[in-house]
Structure 1
C-alpha cells in the first residue's frame, strides 16, 4: 500500500526543519508517542536506529525506526530553492514501512511538507488490517501533519490540548 499526503505550514522552511529535527518536540505533536529513544547513532542522523513505542487506542505498538536518508546532512546550510529529504524505515511485528518526507519553500514564510508512505504487511492478521483499513493509515499520517502544523504555528500541544 502506498499513498502521499501533504500540508503547507505558515513558517519559513528553516524553522520548520529545526522543529521537526528536535526530538524534545516530538511528544508535543506526534499523537500517541510513548517513547522514541535512539538505540544506536544520533537522533536524526543517517543510520540511527531508534526504539519507538506508540499508543494506538488501548494497544501499544513497538517498533524500530532507522533513518535512511537526510539531505542535506547539515541542516544549517540549506541552499535556497533546494528540497530537504528525510527518509526513515519503520519495522513493527507484521509490518514494514518507509516514509519519505520532502520539505520545500512554498514562499518566503511558507513550507510545503510532502510525505510519501509505503507499507508492506506479513502474517494473516496484519494483511487483513492492511486490506480492510487502508484509509486509517493515510488518515493517521494526515493527522500527524495537522498536529505538527498546529504545534509549529500556534504552539498547540497534543498531550494537553493547550497552546
Structure 2
C-alpha cells in the first residue's frame, strides 16, 4: 500500500456560519481535538492560506508533533491542509455545506502517505485506526458545536 484514502461525512445540527466560526478559530481546537496540548505559530498569517503551525498532542501517553500547513481556504465551504509528522503526510480536504437552515454537512477526504517502513506497516495492518481517529475528531467537533461539550474537560 503506497497510500490510504478515505472519505467521512457528518451532519451537524447548527447553521453553516456558526459551524465555521467555531472551526476557523484555532483557540477552539483544544475543545474538539483530543490530546491537543499546545499550538505554536510557525509562519504566515494564522488561519490563512500558507500559514503553518505546530500542534503538540499526547496520544496514548506518547507525545506527537504535527505540522499543519493550510493549502486552500474558501470558507465557509472549503478548507484544505497538509499534516506532517515524522512518519506520514496527511492531505485533508474539508467541505462544508448547509443541508438546511440549521444543518451543516461536513465531508472530510483524507489521504495518508507513509514516510517510513513503520508507518507503511501501520497503514497496511491497522487502516481503521486512522479512520476512527478522524471520525472521533469530527464527532467531538459536532458535540462541541451542538452541545458545548469540550474534550478538554474530560
Query: Normalization by structure 2: what TM-score?
Result: 0.94
For this pair of structures, how many residues does the alignment match? Answer: 151
Q: In the alignment, does 2:110 pair up with 1:117?
A: yes
Q: Secondary structure at the residue paired with 1:126?
A: helix
* Match among 129, 149, 153 for residue 156 of structure 1: 149
| Structure 2, gaps ≥5 residues long | none
Deviations 1:56-110 (A, max 9, x none): 10211112110000014xx5xxxxxxxx110000111121111100000110110
| Structure 1, gaps ≥5 residues long | 76-83
**Counterpart in the other structure of 1:44:** 47
Map 1:78-157 to 2 at 5 A.
84-157=77-150
* Match among 34, 38, 41 for residue 35 of structure 1: 38
Could you tell me how far 1:43 is from its partner in structure 2? 2.1
Could you tell me how far 1:52 is from its partner in structure 2? 1.3
Q: Distance in 2 between matches of 1:152 and 1:94?
A: 31
**Counterpart in the other structure of 2:73:** 70
Q: Distance in 2 between matches of 1:133 and 1:112?
A: 27
Could you tell me how far 1:37 is from its partner in structure 2? 2.1
| TM-align CA RMSD | 1.1
**Counterpart in the other structure of 2:6:** 3
Deviations 1:103-162 (A, max 9, x none): 00110110000000000002211111111111000001000010011100000011213x
Deviations 1:16-58 (A, max 9, x none): 0000011111101111111222111222200001111121102
Q: Distance in 2 between matches of 1:6 and 1:98?
A: 16
